[in-house]
Amino acid sequence: MNLILFDLDNTLLKGDSDYEWGNYLAEIGVVDKKTYTEKNAYFFSQYQEGTLDPNEYAKFSYEPLAKNKYQDLIAWRNNFIEKKIRPMILPKAIELLDRHRNHQDTLAIITSTNKFITEPIANELNVDHLIATELEMQNGEFTGKIIGHACFQENKINCLNSWLEKVDEKIESTWFYTDSYNDLPLLEHVTNPVVVDADQRLSEHANKKGWQKISLR
């Protein structure tokens, strides 16, 4: 099969779902607005610079999940998808997904953003397969901890390989669409790297490598 991998944030979406989720929790008063938005922006700038420590970010980002009931989190997430995520879905991203579906390709989203946030987004995009950071639960509630490692930077390859072991399909070729320099390890790993509305460092690297560059904006 031809496996087509897509980053989610700032690739298929016009924005970052993880960052906006934090802002949304601040907006509806789940967390202290001033403190949380400042820290959220701090970590987001680290992500953009490629210096983010995923374990440090996890302690901050997943604390609200651990401190609130799962049923409340689901209600907030439903509103978040409706109000914040649906307007971020790019029409050209839908066209790209449909084009690969028409070629009978296997589509998967691979993202560092946790599965609690991204699973309904993958459903919105009609993408059956999702590889994302997994969160630990006990007795039906989040603990605030990650299962294994965050699906981030070089660990995206490990997460992909773990998923492929479960799928047990012969892969003929792999494509990966992403905007971020953080995804360089996986871009180097696949047979067909494609950069999408790339940040400056990734754009320059793509030029040197002769990789395909596209825009979905």
What ranges do the domains of the chain cover? 2-214
pLDDT of the residue at 52: 86
pLDDT of the residue at 106: 96
pLDDT of the residue at 153: 95
pLDDT of the residue at 79: 98
Tell me which residues are annotated as active site.
7, 9
Which residues of the chain, if any, have pLDDT below 50?
Answer: none
pLDDT of the residue at 199: 83
Residue range 160-193, pLDDT digits in tens: 999 999 987 888 999 999 999 999 999 999 999 9
pLDDT of the residue at 170: 85
pTM of the model: 0.95
> Three-state secondary structure along the chain?
CEEEEECCCCCCECCCHHHHHHHHHHHCCCCCHHHHHHHHHHHHHHHHHCCCCHHHHHHHHCHHHHHCCHHHHHHHHHHHHHHHHHHHECHHHHHHHHHHHHCCCEEEEEEEEEHHHHHHHHHHCCCCEEEEECEEEECCEEEEEECCCCCCCCHHHHHHHHHHHHHCCCCCEEEEEECCHHHHHHHHHCCEEEEECCCHHHHHHHHHHCCEEECCC
Options 3.40.50.360, 3.40.30.10, 3.40.50.1000, 3.30.450.20; CATH for 2-214 is: 3.40.50.1000
